Structure formats: C-alpha cells, structure tokens
C-alpha cells in the first residue's frame, strides 16, 4: 500500500496536483477511499484529514466504503427516466439482496449505482455493467445479464 501511496504523492508533487487529483488516484488504485490512506496523506502533506473527507463526500465519484465485485450502474438521466429506468432500478434491488439504504449486496458481489446521465440519451434506457455501456435495456435483458454474472461468480 505504502508504495502505491508514495507513487501518488510523487505524481501530486510533479503535476502540481490537488486534493481532488489525489482522491481520484486513490479511488482508481483501491476502488474506494480507505480511511488509512487519507490519514497517510494528511500527515505527509500537513493538510487536515477533514479537508480530504469534506472533498470526498462532496463528489459522487468517491466512495468511503468498499464496493462490490460487479458494478451495475443505472442511468437516471431524463431520457432514461422517461423510458423506464426506475423500473430497472427497483427490480435490481429486489433481485440482488441489497439491504435497505445500501447499494452493495450482503455477499459483496454486486453494487448498484445510479448515475445522473452519461449522455447516451439516444439509446435510453442505459445501464453500465462493469464499464460496458448497454443501450435500450429491457427488464428481460437486464435479468439475463444479471444471471450471466451470477453464474460466473
């Protein structure tokens, strides 16, 4: 871990980075922002940890808890909403054993996320399964995709 953090620190110094770029690098390396990484940077840079957390909680790209192995993102843009993305979302929560007010399943295999709009409105409704953008999604196809992932796991 130390090694990765040193590398991020090096890049920060070289490119006159800022807190956001550090957090982006941490998120990229670990998939979320572990608390100890913030303490580490806070000490190294003499910036209060609260500034890191304040920034991390402001932006939706940062996560303070580990996420599931598979990430299903449902676009909640207007076009997707009009074409029924809420239905897709409700069904996913029903299907994947996710505790209320959480987004990751109890077995850590799935995380369901909403994104405001990925700008692919022409092929709404859109979901992203582990970074692959899938357009014109139907309940049926979504359940098929979920089954495929479940079978793999």
Counting contacts by CB under 8 A, is residue 79 touching other proteins? yes
Instruction: Give how far the C-alpha of residue 46 lies from the chain's centroid of Cα atoms, to the nearest Å.
Output: 28
Counting contacts by CB under 8 A, is residue 78 touching other proteins? yes
Counting contacts by CB under 8 A, is residue 121 touching other proteins? yes
Counting contacts by CB under 8 A, is residue 116 touching other proteins? yes
How far apart are CB 148 and other proteins at their closest, in Å?
17
Q: From start to end of the chain, where are the E strands? A: 70-75, 110-115, 127-129, 132-134
Copy the structure tokens of residue 52: 């890191």
**In this structure, are residues 14 and 4 in contact, taking their beta carbons and an 8 Å threshold?**
no
Instruction: Select from 117, 129, 145, 149 the one that contacts other proteins (CB under 8 A).
Output: 117
Distance CA 16, CA 45 (A): 13
Q: Which residues sit opposite 134 in a β-bridge?
A: 127
Measured from the CB atom, the residue of 2 and 16 that comes closer to other proteins is 16
Measured from the CB atom, the residue of 2 and 145 that comes closer to other proteins is 145
Counting contacts by CB under 8 A, is residue 115 touching other proteins? yes
Instruction: Select from 2, 3, 14, 94 the one that contacts other proteins (CB under 8 A).
Output: 94
Distance CA 67, CA 119 (A): 24
Q: From start to end of 3-151, where are the E strands? A: 70-75, 110-115, 127-129, 132-134
Counting contacts by CB under 8 A, is residue 101 touching other proteins? no
Looking only at residues 22 through 61 of this chain, which bind other proteins when binding is defined by CB under 8 A? 23-24, 54-55, 58-61
In angstroms, how far apart are the furthest CA atoms of the chain?
52
- Using CB under 8 A, list all residues that contact other proteins: 17-21, 23-24, 54-55, 58-62, 76-79, 81-84, 87, 90-91, 94-95, 115-124, 126, 133-135, 138-140
């Amino acid at each position: 871990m130390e090694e990765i953090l040193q590398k991020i620190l090096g890049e920060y110094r070289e490119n006159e980075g800022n807190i956001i770029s550090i957090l982006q690098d941490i998120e990229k390396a670990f998939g979320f922002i572990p608390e100890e990484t913030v303490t580490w940077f806070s000490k190294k840079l003499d910036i209060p940890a609260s500034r890191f957390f304040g920034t991390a909680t402001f932006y939706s790209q940062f996560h303070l808890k580990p996420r599931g192995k598979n990430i299903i993102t449902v676009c909640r843009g207007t076009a997707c909403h009009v074409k029924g993305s809420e239905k897709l979302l409700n069904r996913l929560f029903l299907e994947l054993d996710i505790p209320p007010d959480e987004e990751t399943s109890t077995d850590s295999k799935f995380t369901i996320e909403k994104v405001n709009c990925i700008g692919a409105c022409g092929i709404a409704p859109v979901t992203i399964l582990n970074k692959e953008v899938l357009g014109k999604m139907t309940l049926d196809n979504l359940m098929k995709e979920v089954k495929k992932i479940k079978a793999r796991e």
